[in-house]
Structure 1
């Protein structure tokens, strides 16, 4: 039997700081690595990131970081995470270019270069799971949903998205793929 766990290290009931973990047996898959900007009354605080201690303590088990889109709520904590947990980062072409800028502008992570461009047809085989992607609609192009396929079933993570039937076909959520996954 496959042991599957899903945890939120940030992003629950808040706007930003998205970071979710899918554990399949001994493998950890990180879904987004975002930040949150402080409230007005949080004087002196520049940004807020999820607590990364669990991932740092288990960095040898982390298989990769999978990004849904290029907004700071999905990629803003990436420099802090990759400076401690040096694993591949996956995302669409635009998302990866924005992630590279984010990482490059941080002294602790600016030498990190392990980025990989994926799209809705990409499927990545790992020992414990298969990770694939599907198109979603968002206010930023090239947004993707992520599927972590396990022997017990699929973990589907959408990140931020919206249903916008007026969006051009290139940017519409792939509802057929979602139905296929389910």
Structure 2
């Protein structure tokens, strides 16, 4: 499938705001869950830091709500698809996935993912990421990338579980939350090489 940027953008604007998988419900950012998410993320700061850039300092509910509304606006414009992960069994908030940094001419995007420690080792984040990759390819995306801190080996393993290939290292590519230069490892999968 080959799409020009305009039709693809319309498809991205129509991204589902809620998806039910076997063990998860993926939902776009909801203002009424801001307090719960703030509390859960703050409780997990030692686990998330240093890999999740926006966890350098404890979050406050007002800022989480502000970011929630910004994310919903970007979602509706087709620029940033983000889904929060909720357990179907317990209703607990577990983390998030997103598709961002779109280049509609290729078309390509980047996949982002993170999870709270209570969900580790259960394959829940993998399940959510696989859905996102499959959904993006179904929209006509040709390439999906994951940029991972070179020190974050758990993130590397996730990309590999999704069938992504390690393409190389971008040395001194960005700064981490402490201002130190970091290397980024690039993983990618193309529609032609996706899982069968």
TM-score where L is the length of structure 1: 0.36
TM-score where L is the length of structure 2: 0.34
Larger relative helix fraction: 2
Q: Which has the higher contact order (CA 8 A, sep 6+)?
A: 2
